[in-house]
Amino acid sequence: MLKRQLFLLIFAITYLLCYNYPINEKIVEYERGDIKSINIDSTEDYINYIKTYNNIISLFHVDWCGHCQEFLPVLDKASSYKIVNKNWIFLKISCTKYPHICSFLGIHRYPTIKIYRQKEPLHIQPPRGLAPLLTILQKLSSNPIINIKSKEDFIEKYGDFSPIIEILTKSEEKKEENDFFECIKQLANNDFVETFYFGVIESKDNIEKIVFNYNISNISYIWDGNCTNASNFLYDNKYPLLSKINEYFLKEIADDPHILIFLITFPQNKKINDFIFSLFQKMSFENRKYVFGYADFLEDKDISKFFKLKLNNTNEIKLIIYDFNERMYYIHNITYNIILNNEKEIINDFEKILKNINNLKYTSGSIIRDWVSKIGFDKMSANKQVIVVGIIVFLLLGIIFLCFHFSNSPESDFDEEDDELEENSEHNNQEKINKKENELNKNVKQKIE
């Protein structure tokens, strides 16, 4: 029984540390061709590709890495889409077969994904899902700064998620001399704006600014000559007013210090959902330091499981606040009946929660994962993680072996020694008894004679 429990404990620890949860994603059907990914077997070949081609995505992988094995077919499949393979070269380097290449390039963590755009390295980690990977590669291969004729055309094509840059002139000669435009060109290559397109239009009120044209209203930053302030403004608005929350989105913002506030609803209550979403958009517009979003009970079951939500009440909306820094969450229940009859009460309820967001009664996340984070396991290199897991498994196997040995051995060495002593003692006693009997017999014989 003990052996079985220890085995289950090892399995549970390994599962929690190493399991990579699947991402359900939908992808637009682009035209596909043959797989165009290339296996690299020498350092010289890799360097030649970097020097020769403008846009390259390269994956460094090893055989024992589960995340590597999951991403390899994604990279292969992405290389078959004509919308990206006409602009991108896909390289794969096996650090198991060719460790000298990875050692020379300083690769020690797996998987490592390197991206070169216009022969310049980009310090970003691309998403590992197929659909988002295609999206970002398509965006990176095009010019993110676009001259536009009207805001409406730009919003129709790129949505209200991308900013419109209003400058004093659209003249190419004067634009190059414009500090604001130079700042925008720098920001267009920043890690956190990889999903933005920048629509450039001539300012009609002679004020240079960055504008996010949300459907509720506009948020603007007026150019003050400080590119850092412009960067901070873009960072605060890098998420839409309402983001679709799924496991992929949670992984993408896991290292972001934002607090996530989102609703989980049932799809059959569409009219009320639309109403509550409009209120939520207003909250998001007024509180851009938080990330706001929504999820669906039926579509996003992984999210429901993560927050241990029961699906037995379809007349309820869940408001969830999740703190990525502390790995803690708060759940607030709202019934659809209250929403219908008490609009002002709902708004006041939301506002109170936001005002007291630091004093709410949060629930801690998984103890195992918190412990993993505290000891820094999730920030270790892949080699160190393997060593740590190996030591833990080795110690547990050692405990199992010792328990098995002592519980199943019929007699211990000490028992054998005790048995030998007992046998010797019995033998000596028997000899004494026999000796006394012989002496008595002699005495009896002598008396008879």
Q: How far is Cα 426 from Cα 438, in angstroms, rounded to an integer?
A: 18
Q: Name the least confident of 85-99, 159-173, 195-209, 252-266.
A: 159-173
- Last residue of one domain, picked from the residues 349, 374, 399: 374
**Which two tokens mark 375?**
């000891």
What pLDDT does residue 340 have? 61
Q: How far is Cα 309 from Cα 436, in angstroms, rounded to an integer?
A: 86
Question: If you average pLDDT over each of 10-24, 149-163, 170-184, 327-341, which comes out highest?
Answer: 149-163
Q: Looking at per-residue confidence, does 85 or 59 come out higher?
A: 59
Question: If you average pLDDT over each of 55-64, 210-219, 277-286, 340-349, which comes out highest?
Answer: 55-64
250 and 263 both lie in a single domain: yes
Q: Looking at per-residue confidence, does 7 or 178 come out higher?
A: 178
Task: Tell me if 329 sits within 8 A of 362, measured CB to CB.
Answer: yes
One-letter amino acid for residue 15 of the chain: Y
Residue 232 within a domain = yes
Residue 384 within a domain = no
Task: Tell me if 307 sits within 8 A of 260, measured CB to CB.
Answer: no
- Last residue of one domain, picked from the residues 236, 262, 292: 236
| Res 369 pLDDT > 60 | no
Q: Confidence band (pLDDT; 50, 70, 90) for 21?
A: very low
| Res 69 pLDDT > 80 | yes
79 and 110 both lie in a single domain: yes
Q: Is the dihedral of CA 130, 136, 140, 141 positive or negative?
A: positive
Question: If you average pLDDT over each of 22-31, 360-369, 414-423, which comes out highest?
Answer: 360-369
Residue 11 within a domain = no
339 and 363 both lie in a single domain: yes
| Res 17 pLDDT > 50 | no
Residue 210 within a domain = yes
Task: Tell me if 74 sits within 8 A of 346, measured CB to CB.
Answer: no
Mean pLDDT of the chain: 75
Structural element, H or E, at residue 352: helix 343-355
In DSSP notation, 224-261 reads -S-HHHHHHHHHHTSS-SSEEP-HHHHHHTTTS-PEEE
How much is the average pLDDT of 151-159? 77
Q: Looking at per-residue confidence, does 188 or 373 come out higher?
A: 188
176 and 135 both lie in a single domain: no
Write the pLDDT tens digit of every residue in 299-346. 777 777 777 776 666 667 888 888 876 667 788 877 766 666 666 777
Can you tell me whether residue 292 is helix, strand or coil? strand
| Res 141 pLDDT > 70 | yes
- Last residue of one domain, picked from the residues 197, 219, 236: 236
Structural element, H or E, at residue 334: strand 328-335
247 and 368 both lie in a single domain: yes
CATH number, domain of 52, equals 3.40.30.10
Nearest of 188, 109, 110 to residue 142 by alpha carbon: 188
225 and 288 both lie in a single domain: no
| Res 29 pLDDT > 70 | no
How much is the average pLDDT of 206-232? 87
Task: Tell me if 61 sits within 8 A of 168, measured CB to CB.
Answer: no
Q: Name the least confident of 111-115, 258-262, 280-284, 380-384.
A: 380-384
What pLDDT does residue 366 have? 46
| Res 2 pLDDT > 60 | no
Q: Looking at per-residue confidence, does 379 or 64 come out higher?
A: 64
What is the percent of the chain where pLDDT is above 90?
14
Measure the CA angle with vertex 152, ends 146 and 157; round to 5°: 55
Question: If you average pLDDT over each of 20-34, 160-174, 217-231, 412-426, which comes out highest?
Answer: 217-231
Residue 10 within a domain = no
Q: How many domains does the chain have?
A: 3
270 and 361 both lie in a single domain: yes
What pLDDT does residue 25 have? 42
Q: Name the least confident of 32-41, 196-205, 290-299, 433-442.
A: 433-442
What pLDDT does residue 22 have? 39
Q: For residue 362, what are the domain limits?
A: 243-374
Residue 350 within a domain = yes
Residue 319 within a domain = yes
286 and 361 both lie in a single domain: yes
What pLDDT does residue 27 have? 42
131 and 156 both lie in a single domain: no
Task: Tell me if 105 sits within 8 A of 45, measured CB to CB.
Answer: no
206 and 159 both lie in a single domain: yes
156 and 72 both lie in a single domain: no
42 and 135 both lie in a single domain: yes
Write the pLDDT tens digit of every residue in 93-138. 999 999 999 999 989 888 899 988 878 787 667 777 787 788 778 7
- Enumerate helices (H) and strands (E) in the chain, giving the number of each: 18, 16
